[in-house]
Amino acid sequence: MSDCIFCRIVAGQIPATKVFEDEDVVAFRDIHPQAALHVLIIPKKHIATLFDVVPEEDQAVLGKMLALAPRIASENGSADGFRTIINTGRLGGQEVYHLHIHVVGGQAMPAMLKY
């Protein structure tokens, strides 16, 4: 989707500080971090929200994203623990309509403590 900022990151049209990438997913640092560690994990294929019906052949990538979270946290300085957050839809606080997991850890900023 040409108007999706995360699709443009996947396509290399917008720079991002990537911490992981393979054929299915990209993980990169959030440009407005809410903690010492704040990385987003996204599928390369555009999936707008968890509300979307995900075909069976794409379900493995969702598991891969979640399974990648502890590795991202550990390799990026948050081996003591972390949070995974998926905002879904307008009332769920989703701002970018491309499915993404926030991996947040380390010294939390006050804004993150409300969740």
Q: Quick check: is 98 catalytic?
A: no
Instruction: Tell me which residue of 111, 9, 28 sits closest to 72, measured CA to CA.
Output: 28
Catalytic residue of the set 32, 38, 46, 100: 100
**What are the catalytic residues?**
100
